[in-house]
Amino acid sequence: MSQKVLLNATAINIILHRLACQLIENHNDFSNTVIIGLQPRGKYLAKRLAKMLTEAYKIKNLQLGALDITFYRDDFRRGEKILEANTTEIDFIVENKKVVFVDDVLYTGRSIRAALTAIQSFGRPNEIELLTLIDRRFSRHLPIQPNYRGRQVDAINEEKVKVHWQENEGEDVVYLVNN
């Protein structure tokens, strides 16, 4: 197994600032916008962005949630791997809100498909946008594209993109792993 660093901590920080600014451009003071991290890995990015928006860009009363999509996935009983559920933390209704889904890597688009179904349990949003740190091109199974992307990556199917966060793995870094 070999791995290559795609983004280091400095690069990630610059990208996060850019993504935060792009969000502000479209959502102003976030009074009608909610940010929802997709479990399990999108939560870290969502939290980081929310922290940056609150501290560096002085956005007040930002609403942040975490959505688990396990029970909405389309591969239940289809793989060897047992699907592990995570907690959903959404203590608000998304009716008529602008929702921004946040995930670390966009690959086949199937998780996003599941998330689009899952969010309906919390109301009918006005619109839904997608933000991903890494967009793996040419690997989509569904017609889904991000509105905000950190970095576009061309990776073949055998390769994996791993995102590590300071809070969880002790470092901010994105690896391209070759098995």
Partner 1 sequence: MSELSVNHLLGIKYLQEKDIQLIFETADHFKEVINRPIKKVPSLRDITIANLFFENSTRTKLSFELAEKRLSADVINFSAGQSSVKKGETLIDTVNNILSMKVDMVVMRHPNPGASVFLSKYVKANIINAGDGTHEHPTQALLDSYSIREKLGDVAGKKVVIIGDILHSRVALSNIFALKLQGAHVMVCGPKTLLPKYIDQLGVKVETNLRKALNWCDVANMLRVQNERMAISYFPSTREYTQQFGINKELLNSLDKDITIMHPGPINRGVEITSDVADSKQAIILDQVQNGVAIRMAIIYLLASKIKQ
- CB contact at 8 A, 150 and 133: yes
In the complex, least distance from residue 41 CB atom to partner 1, rounded to whole angstroms: 16
Residue 88 binds partner 1 (CB under 8 A): yes
In the complex, least distance from residue 118 CB atom to partner 1, rounded to whole angstroms: 8
> Using alpha carbons only, how large is the chain's radius of gyration in Å?
16
User: For partner 1, which residue of 4, 8, 21, 76 counts as binding (CB under 8 A)?
Assistant: 76
Q: Kindly state the tokens that stand for 2.
A: 């070999």
In the complex, least distance from residue 92 CB atom to partner 1, rounded to whole angstroms: 11
Residue 91 binds partner 1 (CB under 8 A): no
Which range in 15-23, 52-60, 70-78, 152-160 contacts partner 1 by CB under 8 A? 70-78
Q: What secondary structure letter does DSSP report for 39?
A: T
Task: Please give the Cα distance from 33 to 21 (Å, whole number).
Answer: 15
Interface residues for partner 1 in 16-55 (CB under 8 A)? none
Interface residues for partner 1 in 109-148 (CB under 8 A)? 117, 120-123
- CB contact at 8 A, 44 and 167: yes
Task: Please give the Cα distance from 106 to 149 (Å, whole number).
Answer: 9
